Amino acid sequence: MASTDPAFHRELEAIRLLSVQVLRNLERTAAEVRSAQARQQPVSSAVLETMLSDPAITAIRRHGEELSTLQRKLDDQRDTLKRKENQALRTGFAFWLSGLALGWLVGLLFAWRTSDRILKPLLQLEQLMKTPGEDVNTALQSSTIKNAPMEIGSLMRSFLKLVTEGQELTAQLKSLASTDGLTAVGNRRSFDEGLSEEWRRGLRSGQPLSLLLLDVDHFKLYNDLYGHVQGDACLRTVADVIRSQARRSSDLVCRIGGEEFAVLLPETPLAEATKLAHDILAALDAMALVHGSSPVVGWVTASIGVACAIPQRDESASLLMERADQALYVRKGRLGRHGVTVAEPSADVSVELKTEDAQDSSVPLR
């Protein structure tokens, strides 16, 4: 730093010039001393005093002091600069640490916000995907989804649409799997599942379970005469008539064969089931669908077998089906069509049957 300070250089230049002057004065004094010695004369004290009192020497001393002062100042400045440099390094390191800590805090904040606004909605979406039966609409109204970024909300709405369409499609498939495509009543699968379920329910409740089996009389002759298209229309009409009489939400109407229908009546005693069977026959007679090939009457008629049981743990649901089917068989085979035959409550399907035709006549069977 001293080499670049102008005052320091000025003092050095002054000392150099004064040193030259002192050197010249010393040379003159030395010449005078040698001359006095050559003459073998003592050296005059004035010469020595003149040399010692040379102003240049005094000036050199003063400039030397100035130079020393400047050097101390420069040293002080260098020490001050060094301290500032160290302080700057410490300050810079502190700033670096502060920046690092701030960056770490910002990272934590970002991670927390990311977790709160992105990860949580995504985890909720994953949970909904695993259990799509949950209420997706309710999930969309939660604060987790509402506070999520727009993209997450859009993804959730798309998922809601997908789930809704999937649920609708599942419902349609279930309906198709359990509905007869021609008559829109239940099919055989629906009947089998319903019979098993109601039998188990009856085991718990101890309530009676009744079953009607209905067969359209001489339907093959109807088809041969009018064709399959008209035959299909006839079956649809019969199904509508049955549904018009079995109106309870718990009543299950199914087509279980070509022209055979079943009506499952939970918590229904035998008397009520028998009355419903007669109501169905009466409603079908009232429709008066022309049947030109029927050997019974001139319109479409039906035969019905009725059975009732209180479910027992040592019995199966198939027993009820067998007894209703046996009653229908007796009606069609031994008693003539267009009537109602009732299987009296018993575990034995070969028990005495009570039969009633469309005019409510009744005779015991042996």
- Annotated active-site positions, please? 259
Angstrom CA distances, 246 to 89, 237, 243, 265, 327, stand at 95, 14, 5, 8, 20
CA distance 156 to 140: 7
Contact yes or no for 215/255 (Cβ under 8 A): no
289-292-293-299 Cα dihedral, nearest 10 degrees: 30
Question: Which two three-digit tokens encode residue 144?
Answer: 């987790």
Contact yes or no for 195/171 (Cβ under 8 A): no
CA triplet 341, 260, 249: central angle to 5 degrees? 85
Q: Residue 302: which region, alpha, beta or left (left: phi > 0; alpha: psi -120 to 50)? A: beta
Contact yes or no for 194/266 (Cβ under 8 A): no
Burial pattern 36-57, b for ≥16 Cβ within 10 A else e, equals eeeeeeeeeeeeeeebeebebb
Angstrom CA distances, 197 to 173, 203, 211, 262, stand at 20, 10, 14, 15
CA distance 271 to 334: 23
